[in-house]
Amino acid sequence: MKRTPCIFFDRDGIINQSPGPGYVERVEDFHLLPDFPQALRIAQSRGYRAVVVTNQRGVALGLVHPRTLEAIHLHMHSLLAQEGLKLDGVYVCPHDRGECTCRKPMPGMLLRAAEELNLALAHSWMIGDHETDITAGRVAGCRTIRVGDLSVPSEADERVSDMSGLPALLEALLPRQSV
């Protein structure tokens, strides 16, 4: 079966408002960013899968119960469903630092998704608001887009200063036919 290209999306700061240095600990604190649905729509209309890869260390720290995280993600799916959208996968690293191979900047979640969903990593993109997202994407063999302050150094292939610039960038970058 042919491998499919994918857009990997970081969660906090890309899909929903960043909780700052902390964690989204309650369903009510998950606020969809207004430009994400359009970015997702463009990615999927161009034949890309859309997979979320998110570090949630708050689970390891006992700040976010696994069942709460599940409820937050059900809420995320239902907000997107209201826009007629559906993610192809959500991968979570619930671990503390240094105890796994999936916590970004390590590429474990992307590699697992590629295996399970038959993804073409070399034709895929990782989008995030931290350099750890960019590193994970690069190590997995993807191209990368960093969202946020352009004055911060980054290895990302492409950059936009905030989410409002992402839909147009994806329009310009993604080939109309899937590879």
In the numeric block, which tokens belong to residue 128? 């995030």
Taking each continuous run of H as one helix and of E as one strand, the counts in the chain are 6, 6
Q: What residue number has its CB nearest to Mg ion?
A: 13
SS3 state of residue 93: strand
Q: Is there a catalytic annotation at residue 96?
A: no
Tell me which residues in 101-120 interact with Zn ion (CB under 5 A). 102-103
Please report how close the Cβ of residue 99 comes to Mg ion at its closest, in angstroms: 20
**Dihedral (CA of 79, 81, 86, 91) sign:** positive
Given the rule CB under 5 A, which residues bind Mg ion?
10, 12-13, 129
Tell me which residues in 73-102 interact with Zn ion (CB under 5 A). 93, 95, 100, 102
Q: Is there a catalytic annotation at residue 12?
A: yes
Please report how close the Cβ of residue 114 comes to Zn ion at its closest, in angstroms: 16
Q: What residue number has its CB nearest to Zn ion?
A: 100
β-bridge partners, 128 = 146
139 binding partner (options Zn ion, Mg ion, none; Cβ < 5 to 8 Å by kind): none
**What is the number of alpha carbons within 13 Å of residue 81 lying toward its C-beta?**
6
Cα–Cα distance, 76 to 20 (Å, whole number): 18
Please report how close the Cβ of residue 100 comes to Zn ion at its closest, in angstroms: 3
Q: Which residue, 18 or 68, is less far from Mg ion as judged by CB? A: 18
129 binding partner (options Zn ion, Mg ion, none; Cβ < 5 to 8 Å by kind): Mg ion
From the centroid of its chain, how far is CA 1? 25
Q: Residue 40 has what DSSP assignment?
A: H
Site residues, Zn ion (CB under 5 A): 93, 95, 100, 102-103
What are the residue numbers of the active site?
10, 12
